[in-house]
Homo-oligomer: A and B are copies of this chain.
Amino acid sequence: MSLQPVRRESAVEAVLDQMHAQVASGAWAVGDRIPGEHELSARLHVSRPAVREAIRALSHVGVLEVRRGDGTYVRSAADPRPLLRRVERASLRDVFEVQLAYDVQAAKLAALRRTPEDLRRLEGLLRNRDAAEDPADFGEADSGFHLAVAETARNPLLTEAFRFFRHRLRESLSAVREDRDLPEGGPERHHAVLAAIAAGDAEAAGRAAALVVAPTLRALEDVL
């Protein structure tokens, strides 16, 4: 008989779990007003600050909305926690593959929606990237170019998703691979992305974007 670690859950985590379950099950539907803090405190047999901490966490991620003096409402039943938990533990390959999906979609949309000013900006950023010699400068310039492509797509949601995942990716890389740089397609592949975007060719832009990341994924397959 093997002994299992005893995990004692905090009061706030227990409240969070119950609240999530209420929302997920539809007992508290989107638009509903949930019971007040005092009532939840009494019902759940925890202190009111514990209830408040749970509510604060859920309002921070957009699940609940607190209206002072009025009550607390359910704004969304889409719980981001599984995603956020997963991104904390995701392998580099997995993050790169998601990031690739963004890169490709951003390039396609950029090709459809770019303006002359966008193109000038992208050209400048690519020049910066080509000219960067110091690894920190290079990383910055590379990120700057990719992010600008995402912004050229004119889908703010895609841009924010891109930004968040890229930031996480950078952290995972520095935590694990301080000593080793992963390869990425060189200048000519980046120029090919820009050329396809300039030509307004979405399919070519998507293919070119995929070619930029391909060496990275290949290197990850070799290492893992």
Name A's B-contacting residues (CB within 8 A): 12, 16, 30, 49, 52-54, 56-62, 75-88, 90, 93-95, 97-98, 100-102, 104-105, 109, 155-158, 160-161, 163-164, 167-168, 171, 175
A96–chain B nearest beta-carbon distance, Å? 10
Say yes or no: A80 contacts B77, CB within 8 Å: no
A16 / chain B contacts, CB cutoff of 8 Å: 60
CA distance A157 to B104 in the complex (A): 17
Rank and list the top 9 A-B pairs by shortest CB-CB distance, nearest first. Answer: A101-B105, A78-B167, A57-B60, A94-B157, A90-B157, A83-B160, A53-B56, A86-B160, A101-B101
**Which secondary structure characterizes the binding site on chain A?**
helix
* Interfacial chain B residues near A105, Cβ < 8 Å: 97-98, 100-101, 104
Distance A33 CA – B95 CA, assembled complex (angstroms): 27
| Bound Cα distance A109, B52 (Å) | 42
**CB nearest to A93 among chain B residues:** B155
The minimal Cβ–Cβ distance linking A14 to chain B, given in whole angstroms, is 13
B101:A76 contact, CB within 8 angstroms: no
Q: Is the CB of B97 within 8 A of A155?
A: yes
Are B82 and A61 within 8 A (Cβ)?
Answer: no
| Complex Cα gap A112–B139 (Å) | 31
User: Which of the residues B57, B60, B161 comes within 8 Å of A83, measured between beta carbons?
Assistant: B161
Q: How far is the CB of A57 from chain B (nearest CB, A)?
A: 4
Say how far A106's CB is from chain B's closest CB, in angstroms.
8
Known contacts A56-B12, A60-B61, A171-B30; is A83 also within 8 Å of B163 by CB? yes
| B98 and A155 form a contact (CB under 8 A) | yes
The complex places the Cα of A77 from the Cα of B168 at a distance, in Å, of 8
**A85 contacts which chain B residues (CB < 8 A)?**
62
Q: In the bound complex, what is the Cα–Cα distance between A171 and B80 (angstroms)?
A: 14
The CA-CA distance from A95 to B95 in the complex, in Å, is 20
Q: Which residues of B contact A163 (CB under 8 A)?
A: 82-83
